Amino acid sequence: MIADTFGRIHDYLRISLTDNCNFRCFYCMPEEEYDFTPASRLMQTDEIIKLAEIFVANGVKKIRLTGGEPLVRKDAAHIISALGKLPVELVITTNGTRIAEMLPVLKEAGIKTINISLDTLQPEKFFMITRRDVFHQVRSNIELLLQHKIRVKINMVVMKGLNDNEINDFISWTKHNPIQVRFIEFMPFNGNRWTSNQMFSLAEILALVEKDFTVLPIKGEQNDTAKHFMIPGHEGSFAIISTMTHPFCSTCNRMRLTADGKLKNCLFSDTETDLLTALRKNEEVLPLIQSAIWSKKKALGGQLASDFEKIDATTIQNRSMITIGG
């Protein structure tokens, strides 16, 4: 098992396959002309598989593939197929654009749950956020997943004045569709110009939903990042990831491996451990993993204030979200 000094067992690994993406969402990758990491500095297919095997041999039970957009990587199908053979729950977070062409590979790998990032149900606003005119393609691919009985979770980053007025539209979507909408509090990362007045909190989200719907809480799982809710008569449900106002650090079991092979022990950590260089030198990787997790801070990477209104995003030492991996 991989544990930290607070007794938290880390059995969930998020692997970023690439920092490349076919979207340009401002809160993730602000600049249109973004310098992607050269291929030689990225983990290669065999390196991803080898590192994953080390983690699984030491207690990891779940692997999530992220990016960037993981499915734009040319060898994504090979990676997914190989990881699907490991004794873990394999899931993926994607923007949904390449689902149709990748669906046979995803099903063959045993992926039963897919998270789709979708911040608006309005085509015009979708284009404004992503700078890409593919809204209807994404919606069609979501329907395709549902037709194939693959569980769909919708990740919606809520930003005050941008899409908070669509929260109940997303809730209405769950009435006749077995999806889970996950409202995510807007978080600060390098380059996304985060300010506290853009943040729409868990309390505000619930208050808005309760104006139009009867909301009942659902008990979550042990290491859940989200607080879960249901609405009587709805096929689907919703959840809120309240990293900024009600963080879930005390039960965190997550590790993040960036596309260039750096291990982050927290989304907000200011340090990283280079596993890829060690692997390429045929050095022992497990001690590096254990040391990195052992040094994990108690909460929020030791960087963020517990009161989100007191956070100065310009002082945070971290990467942009796209280079960390979702």
State yes or no: 102 annotated in a binding site: no
State yes or no: 266 annotated in a binding site: yes
State yes or no: 187 annotated in a binding site: yes
State yes or no: 199 annotated in a binding site: no
Q: What is the 3-state secondary structure (H, E, C) of the chain?
A: CCECCCCCECCEEEEECCCCCCCCCCCCCCCCCCCCCCHHHCCCHHHHHHHHHHHHHCCCCEEEEECCCHHHCCCHHHHHHHHCCCCCEEEEEECCCCHHHHHHHHHHCCCCEEEEECCCCCHHHHHHHHCCCCHHHHHHHHHHHHHCCCEEEEEEEEECCCCHHHHHHHHHHCCCCCEEEEEEECCCCCCCCCCHHHECCHHHHHHHHHHHCCCEEECCCCCCCCEEEECCCCCCEEEEECCCCCCCHHHCCEEEECCCCEEECCCCCCCCEEHHHHHHCCCCCHHHHHHHHHCCCCCHHHCCCCCHHHCCHHHCCCCCHHHHCC
State yes or no: 160 annotated in a binding site: no
State yes or no: 243 annotated in a binding site: no
State yes or no: 280 annotated in a binding site: no
State yes or no: 156 annotated in a binding site: no
On the 0-12 / 13-18 / 19+ scale of CB atoms within 10 A, 130 is buried
State yes or no: 64 annotated in a binding site: yes
State yes or no: 249 annotated in a binding site: yes
State yes or no: 43 annotated in a binding site: no
- Which amino acids are annotated as binding site for [4Fe-4S] cluster, given as ranges? 21, 25, 28, 249, 252, 266
- Which amino acids are annotated as binding site, given as ranges? 14, 21, 25, 27-28, 64, 68, 93, 117, 153, 187, 249, 252, 254-256, 266
- Which amino acids are annotated as binding site for S-adenosyl-L-methionine, given as ranges? 27, 68, 117, 187
- Which amino acids are annotated as binding site for GTP, given as ranges? 14, 64, 93, 153, 254-256
